[in-house]
Structure 1
Amino acid sequence: MVFGKGSSGGQRVGRVAAAGLAGVMGCVAMAAGWAQTPQQQVPNAPAPQALPQLNTLTPVSQLPDAPPAAPAADGQAAVPNALPVAQAPVEAPETHPDDGAPPDTSMKDLPILHVNVQFVQVPFTVKDSKGRLVPGLTWRDVRVYENGLRQQMRFFSSDPLPLSVALVIDQGVTQDTMEKINDSLTALRGAFSPYDEVSVFTYSSGDPTKQTDFTAAQSARLGVILDRSKASGRDALMPLGGPLASAGTINNRDIDPNFNRTSQNGIQLNPPKEYHTLNDAILAAGQETTKAGRDRRRIVYVISDGKEYGSKTSERQLIKYLQTNNIQVYSTLVGDSSVPGLGFLDRVHLPMTMRDDELPRICAATGGQTDPEFRLRGIENSFAKITEEVRTQYTVGYYTHESPFNESKRRIEIRVLRPGLTIISEDGYYPNARDSRPAPVTPSAAP
């Protein structure tokens, strides 16, 4: 190519065009190389999980074994059968006492639904006119009433239950009475069965002392604990008071200092006030029995002269706690309180004085009994007598119709359709949510 005067400028333009053409060709070559290189895959975002179908939940149960997989056809892999659908539990047939057959146990492998209900169990004792125990009663002979309304009986049993006994020993009695108690404790273990358990509490004028937790009733440990629970008792005080106990004072000075003495011939003229914390001891023993299972009878057994003064727990509070937790109190009354006729004035209680008649009222309110014994042989026999009465108790159960929000006391009355019989049971109870449980299944349940 030939240029004229402007040949130098034309040469520069040609060089620029050539450089631009070379750049374009380079870009085309790079694009061709990228086209031959495979592209990197970018992972997708995780898919959202679908909510489970809540209406397909079934009770947790053991599924039956799946049938064997069907044989494969045409060389294809065998496909296991689908799991069977859980079936709804079949209700067991209601058992009536007239059937006489034991409950059906073929449904034991099915799921069990536990529902807390207000089911009330009431133990009671039946005696004849001579004080003898009456056996052989059936559910047809018994009626149960709550707050004056007859209840439909759902449970009746005369079978003995194992006992959980909290033994309370009064160490604040006089020396002669304490000696009788010490000698009688060796016969206590023979009154219980190998299925029973016993804990021991002692008290005097202060807080009660727990000697042992629940232990086997016929174990060697209980014998050692009973030996350790023996005490010497207290001295019998004979106070002398009245207008002749002092010669008087003038300007806070004794007229005759030889007359006003704290003791005379070994007799204490102004003895200190006695403290017998009976209520606190029964409360501590009752709290111990709440640890026992529901299939055991909760008993507080007291050996005392029945005197009460100085406890932090009142009689009303104690009875409410015992009736709320289904605890019965039995007692062997010893000392002067056990002699007929000596305590007939105890019903007239003066303020700020000691009570001698509180223990029988506590026993009666909880469905227990009191056995007054003055001699050593009588105290020993009372152990076997009381345990026999506990083992021969009847038990009835029913569903209460009272509102669970009603926390007031509910009166209970047991009637037997036979003349001349005495029924001993608690006079009522307070609802307790901790003891709400299903009704026991028994072939003797009434329809």
Structure 2
Amino acid sequence: MTIGLSSARFQFLILIVVLAFAASARSQIRARVDLVVVPVTVRDSGGKLITGLSKEDFVVLEDNKPQTVESFDVDPWPLSAAIVIDDGMSGTKSKMLYPPFAPPVFVALTAGFTAKDQMATFRYDSAVHKLADFTNDPAVIEKSLDVIKQFAETRPTERADIVGEKGGRFFRSILNVLSFGHQNEVNPRVGGVLNDAIHEAAMALENQPTDHRKIILVVSDGTIVGPNEIRFDQNRTLLLLKQIEVYGVSAAFGTFGSFKALSDYAASTGGDVYPGTSTKSIETAFNRIVEQARYQYVLGYVSNNRAEAATFRTITVTTRNGKYKVIHRRGYTQYPVQ
């Protein structure tokens, strides 16, 4: 009888300890829900990643009001990446993904990921199609993208404008804007539901581990064609809420507007856009994107602004060395404290 009573008391004490620990953990979580987390990338004027900075090297403003950086992390993060390929592009652009007598560029992409990372693939033209669910197996990802090669081989190719595809990009841009050579240029593509594709990728990332940095990597010419069910501003709200960064590889041939849709997403979320007008530049872009996403400074602060209703707050991060370029998301929506 005594042994049974002691056992019951022991189990009761264990239960008390467990409940106390859980309450403490919940209390800590509640205390940190107002922490604003801002991953940032720092580059020099030549585009080289800057490492070795400390918390004291950063200045954070929210709506132009100085904030105190309370948490600081420089450790590399595992990645969850939704890879989105625009297969509605012309054959000229799509074929850069599959160079003759060489592996597809996607081999260079998957080589940058580790066993701790997760990747999923999507394609889109006039609709969005999921190719592979999240996995850490590069072979599965590469195999899922084989279908893109079929589209690359069947899509019509582009004809060069009057300057030629090898002409100076800046000069060609001016001529395209002024519509010179328009009659000689063909840009055959099928659909372009970029907004819908980014939305579906973001929803898929929602269930990925919270200790992963979540990114969407888009290979596209940036063209939005036809009706999209989702608007840019709806996507921006979702991406900022879920802390998802958008990176783009632009396969467009040098017109000023070609980067706009991708750059708007990247600038809003803290991502970046790289040119992908050749097989080599696409592979370089893949390497730089994975490196940039994985090795970021992560700043955290508790806003000293107070919101009576949902309010969008702009974030500005600089370094005390004004020569560096700092890339980060533009802001977030602050909600009233409950």
TM-score tier by shorter-chain length is 0.7 to 0.9
Counterpart of 2:147 in structure 1 is 228
Distance 1:398 1:307, change over 3 A: same
Given that residues 85 and 219 in structure 2 are in contact (C-alpha distance below 8 angstroms), is that contact kept between their aligned partners in structure 1? yes
| One of 230, 233, 237 as aligned partner of 1:320 | 237
Structure 2 distance, partners of 1:332, 1:418, is 29
Separation in 2, partners of 1:420, 1:321: 32
Is contact 2:193–2:225 with CA below 8 Å preserved after alignment?
yes
- 1:129 is matched with 45
- Mapping of residues 409-420 of structure 1, within 5 Å: 409-420=312-323
CA distance in 2, matches of 1:426, 1:324: 11
Query: Residues 324 and 431 of structure 1 are in contact (CA less than 8 Å); yes or no, is this contact kept in structure 2?
Result: no
Give the aligned partner of residue 15 of structure 1.
none
Instruction: Please tell me whether residue 210 in structure 1 is matched to residue 130 in structure 2.
Output: yes
CA apart distance, 1:367? 0.6
Counterpart residue number, 1:291: 207
Distance, in Å, in 2 between the alignment partners of 1:133 and 1:356 is 22
Q: Which has the higher strand share?
A: 2
- The secondary structure found in structure 1 opposite 2:88 is coil
Could you tell me how far 1:229 is from its partner in structure 2?
3.9
Shift of 1:426: 0.7
Q: CA 1:133–1:237 in 2, change beyond 3 Å: closer, same or farther? A: closer
Q: CA offsets, 1:165-195, max 9 Å, x none?
A: 0000010111121111133123221121121
Q: Which runs of 4+ in 1 moved over 4 A?
A: 83-86, 270-274, 402-405
Q: Supply the distance in 2 between the matched residues of 1:176 and 1:273 (Cα, whole angstroms).
A: 10
- Equivalent position to 1:368, from 263, 266, 271: 271
RMSD of aligned C-alpha atoms?
Answer: 3.4
TM-score (norm 1): 0.59
Partner Cα distance (1:368, 1:272) in 2: 29
> Who is 2:247 aligned against?
330
Aligned equivalents of 1:432, 1:330: Cα separation in 2: 27
Taking a change above 3 Å as real, the CA distance of residues 285 and 271 of structure 1, as seen in their structure-2 partners, is: closer
Which protein is bigger by CA-based radius of gyration?
1
> What is the rounded CA distance, in whole Å, between the counterparts of 1:356 and 1:154 in structure 2?
35
Question: TM-score, normalization: structure 2?
Answer: 0.77
Greater displacement, 379-388 / 293-302:
379-388
Paired AA for residue 227 in structure 1? D
Residue 406 (str. 1) matches residue 327 (str. 2): no
Q: CA deviation at 1:273?
A: 9.0
Deviations 1:103-126 (A, max 9, x none): xxxxxx956341322121110000
Q: Report the equivalent of 2:109.
A: 188
Question: In the superposition, relative to structure 1, how do residues 356 and 152 fare at CA in structure 2: closer, same or farther (>3 Å)?
Answer: closer
The structural deviation recorded for 1:223 is 2.6
Aligned to 2:331: 428
Q: In 2, Cα distance between the equivalents of 1:432 and 1:223?
A: 41
CA distance in 2, matches of 1:150, 1:293: 32
Q: 2:212 is aligned with what amino acid?
A: R
Secondary structure of residue in 1 paired with 2:230: coil
Q: 1:356 to 1:368 in 2, by over 3 A?
A: closer
Q: 1:178 to 1:134 in 2, by over 3 A?
A: same
1:169-188 paired onto structure 2 within 5 Å: 169-182=85-98, 183-188=104-109
Question: Given residue 155 of structure 1, which amino acid in structure 2 is its aligned partner?
Answer: S
| Alpha-carbon displacement from aligned partner over 1:269-317 (angstroms, at most 9, x marks no partner) | x999953111111111111111112211010000111111222222222
Q: Residue 398 of structure 1: SS of its match in structure 2?
A: strand
Choose 142-151 or 421-430, whichever is displaced more.
142-151
Structure 1 residue 335, shift from structure 2 partner? 3.4
Q: Percent identity among equivalent residues?
A: 29
- Name 2:294's counterpart in structure 1: 391
What letter corresponds to residue 334 of structure 1 in structure 2? Answer: A
State the shift of 1:424 in Å. 0.5
Q: Which position in structure 1 is the counterpart of 2:164?
A: none
The DSSP-based 3-state class of the residue aligned with 1:409 is strand
**Does 1:120 pair with 2:41?**
no
Query: What is the CA–CA distance in structure 1 between the aligned matches of 2:319 and 2:196, rounded to whole Å?
Result: 36
Q: Check whether the contact 1:153–1:398 (CA below 8 A) recurs between aligned residues.
A: yes
Deviations 1:390-426 (CA, angstroms, capped at 9, x unpaired): 1221001122244465322111111211131111101
1:31-110 equivalent positions in 2, closer than 5 A: none
TM-superposed CA distance for 1:228, in Å, is 3.4
| Count of equivalent residues | 296
Distance between the aligned counterparts of 2:190 and 2:129, measured in 1? 18
Q: Distance in 2 between matches of 1:237 and 1:312?
A: 28
Gap regions ≥5 residues in structure 2: 99-103, 160-182
